[in-house]
C-alpha cells in the first residue's frame, strides 16, 4: 500500500498531461535538463528539442490550498528565469494544469500571483484528462488530505 503522501499517481498523470499537450501543440515534449555555463542546472517537466516550448505541470484537481500557490508561483518563476538564459528566447512558457478549478487562481484570480504569472509571459493551459485518471487523482488527493 502506498504511503499517504505518495505522489506517484500525480507524477503518472503529469506524463499523460504532457502527452496530451504534445498532441495539441504538434510538438514532442519530454522532461528536460537545461545547464547554464556557470553549472546551474534546471529540471523542467517538459520542453521540445528546440527549446521553443518550456512546460511545468501540476496534476491537482480542485481549488488549490494556500500552500499550493507557492509551488505554482515557483514553477512560473523558474520558467521565466530559465527562458531568459535561452537564445532565442522560447516562444511559449506554459504552466500545464489538469483542472480549471486548480488553474483559476492563476488565471483569473484577483491576487498578485495571477498578475505576476501573466506579466512573466507564462500561459496557464488546462488539458482534459481521461475520467479513470481523474478518479485516481481524486482518490489520491483524498488519501493525501491532512
Rank 36-45, 61-70, 124-133 by mean pLDDT and report only the highest.
36-45
What ranges in 2-130 are assigned the alpha helix state H? 8-25, 66-83, 100-103, 112-119
Q: Is residue 3 part of a domain?
A: no
For residue 146, pLDDT beyond 70: no
Q: Is residue 48 part of a domain?
A: yes
Render pLDDT for 2-19 as a digit per residue (tens, 0 to 9). 444 446 788 888 999 999
For residue 1, pLDDT beyond 60: no
Total domains, the chain: 1
Q: Is residue 39 part of a domain?
A: yes
Mean pLDDT over residues 28-50, rounded?
A: 97
Q: Is residue 1 part of a domain?
A: no
Q: What is the CATH number of the domain that holds 122?
A: 3.40.1350
Q: Is residue 67 part of a domain?
A: yes
Q: Is residue 78 part of a domain?
A: yes
**pLDDT at residue 4, as a whole number:** 44
Cβ distance 85 to 45 under 8 Å?
A: no
Domain encompassing residue 59 = 8-144
Q: Is residue 73 part of a domain?
A: yes
pTM of the model: 0.89
Q: Is residue 41 part of a domain?
A: yes
Q: Does an H or E element contain 142, and which? A: helix 131-144
Amino acid at each position: 500500500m502506498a504511503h499517504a503522501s505518495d505522489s506517484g499517481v500525480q507524477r503518472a498523470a503529469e506524463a499523460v498531461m504532457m502527452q496530451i499537450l504534445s498532441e495539441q501543440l504538434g510538438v514532442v515534449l519530454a522532461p528536460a535538463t537545461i545547464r547554464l555555463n556557470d553549472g546551474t542546472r534546471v529540471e523542467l517537466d517538459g520542453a521540445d528539442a528546440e527549446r521553443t516550448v518550456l512546460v511545468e505541470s501540476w496534476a491537482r484537481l480542485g481549488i488549490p490550498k494556500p500552500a499550493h500557490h507557492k509551488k505554482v508561483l515557483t514553477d512560473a518563476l523558474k520558467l521565466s528565469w530559465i527562458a531568459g538564459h535561452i537564445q532565442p528566447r522560447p516562444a511559449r512558457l506554459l504552466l500545464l494544469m489538469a483542472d480549471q478549478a486548480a488553474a483559476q487562481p492563476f488565471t483569473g484570480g484577483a491576487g498578485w500571483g495571477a498578475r505576476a504569472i501573466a506579466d512573466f509571459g507564462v500561459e496557464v493551459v488546462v488539458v482534459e484528462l481521461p475520467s479513470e485518471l481523474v478518479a485516481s487523482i481524486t482518490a489520491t488527493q483524498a488519501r493525501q488530505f491532512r
